[in-house]
Amino acid sequence: MSAFKSDGPRRRLAAIILVFLIIVIGLLGGAYTLGPRFEREAPQIKLTPDSDVLGLAPMEIDVTDHGAGLKSVTATLSAGGSEHTLASGQYAQPVAEKKITVALSSKLTGVKEGPAVLRVSARDGSLWNFSTATRL
């Protein structure tokens, strides 16, 4: 009788390790590719100048979302029982940042001095569909 050993268990172990590595690499690649789509950070809105008085100087609205990107941004002004859209945008390809400059004195006709609410809302492109709203 000869001393013959089978390579069957070694080949089977090597095949299992190879399949395991392929699965791990696939999962890591999927997480890297789809990671931004699952981000949990809502868009950020910054108003400049940060003031309680509207209309004296142009206002800059800076909206950012560095995860999945912005899908839509809307700025409205409610005053005297009516609502006026100052800016609105829908983006087919999400953008990381959108800056909107609004000169309220030249944009709106018929708005009188008095209490008003500026509402800025943004929706991001993540699968969670986060939105942020800021009121002034």
> pLDDT tens across 11-35, in order?
888 889 999 999 999 888 877 776 6
Query: pTM of the predicted model, to two decimals?
Result: 0.65
Q: How many Cβ atoms sit within 10 Å of the Cβ of residue 131?
A: 13
Residue 118: pLDDT band (50, 70, 90) is: confident
d(CA 132, CA 45): 8
Q: How many domains does the chain have?
A: 2
Give a yes or no: residue 77 inside a domain.
yes
For residue 125, the domain's CATH number is 2.60.40.1930
Give a yes or no: residue 111 inside a domain.
yes
Q: What percent of the chain has pLDDT over 70?
A: 73
d(CA 129, CA 37): 9
